[in-house]
């Protein structure tokens, strides 16, 4: 009974928070400058690749981190760094009890080869604004021991000087881009499994204390 009462109280409290009015968002120019760290509870990194031209196979990484050195007066001067753990790939491949496809992707030398290359990194090199809330971010992606430039289309979704739940200054972004995996040395089954990989990113960043 005690557990039931506590659960009911927690649900009621959460409902009260959700139904409370949300504070107005803040213009990015009025946000505090500084380093913002990824809120991994509100972030996703998914990718898609063609399978025989019949469908786009979709998977994701569940362990990654990023931070922004944010300049609200000159956002194009902001710097972004990110790191991905390739062993965190999840494909939802069926019947894992008979075929551990994710393990094959992680450890296979023709795939992520994570035993030899345990980290994927990105370091931004520039941001060009294309609109009030959009831009193109260029950077260097290091994958399978190869470093090459990539670009991402970025959209600024909004900001809170005090995010309603965390009470921290928070920024939100969406980003997308594509790359040819063979350029980083992953050419397994090309072209039956597509060379072009589409990236889809959603992320919130909270200011460091």
**pLDDT for the residue 75:** 94
What is the residue-wise DSSP string for 23-83?
PPP--GGGSPPEEEEEEEEEEEEEEEEEETTTEEEEEEES-EEEEEEE-SSSGGG-EEEEE
Q: Among residues of the chain, what percentage have pLDDT more than 90?
A: 82
Q: Tell me: the pLDDT tens digits for 130-150?
A: 999 999 999 999 999 999 999
Q: How confident is the model at residue 13 (pLDDT cuts 50, 70, 90)?
A: very low
**pLDDT for the residue 21:** 52
Worst-scoring range by mean pLDDT, 19-23, 63-67, 90-94?
19-23
**pLDDT for the residue 22:** 59
Q: Tell me: the pLDDT tens digits for 59-83?
A: 999 999 999 999 999 999 999 999 9
* Cβ partners under 8 Å of residue 4, min gap 6: none
Q: Rounded distance, CA 198 to CA 179, Å?
A: 7
Q: Tell me: the pLDDT tens digits for 181-206?
A: 999 999 999 999 999 999 999 999 99
**pLDDT for the residue 77:** 96
- On whether the CB atoms of residues 158 and 152 are closer than 8 A, the answer is no
Q: How confident is the model at residue 126 (pLDDT cuts 50, 70, 90)?
A: very high
Going along the chain from its start, the domains and CATH numbers come out as 24-207 (2.40.128.110)
């Amino acid at each position: 009974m005690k557990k039931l009462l506590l659960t009911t109280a927690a649900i009621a409290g959460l409902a009260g928070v959700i139904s409370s009015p949300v504070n107005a968002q803040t213009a990015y120019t009025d946000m505090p400058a500084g380093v913002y760290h990824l809120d991994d509870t509100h972030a996703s990194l998914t990718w898609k690749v063609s399978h025989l031209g019949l469908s786009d196979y979709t998977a994701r990484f569940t362990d990654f981190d990023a931070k922004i050195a944010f300049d609200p007066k000159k956002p194009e001067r902001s710097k972004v760094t990110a790191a991905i753990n390739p062993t965190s790939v999840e494909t939802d491949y069926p019947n894992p009890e008979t075929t551990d496809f994710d393990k094959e992707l992680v450890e296979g030398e023709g795939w992520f080869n994570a035993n030899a290359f345990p980290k994927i990194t990105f370091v931004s090199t520039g941001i060009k604004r294309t609109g009030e809330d959009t831009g193109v971010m260029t950077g260097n992606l290091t994958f399978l021991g190869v470093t090459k430039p990539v670009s991402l289309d970025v959209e600024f979704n909004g900001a809170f000087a005090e995010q309603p739940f965390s009470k921290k200054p928070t920024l939100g972004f969406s980003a997308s881009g594509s790359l040819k995996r063979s350029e980083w040395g992953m050419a397994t089954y090309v072209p039956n499994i597509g060379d072009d990989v589409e990236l889809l990113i959603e992320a919130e960043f909270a200011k460091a204390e």
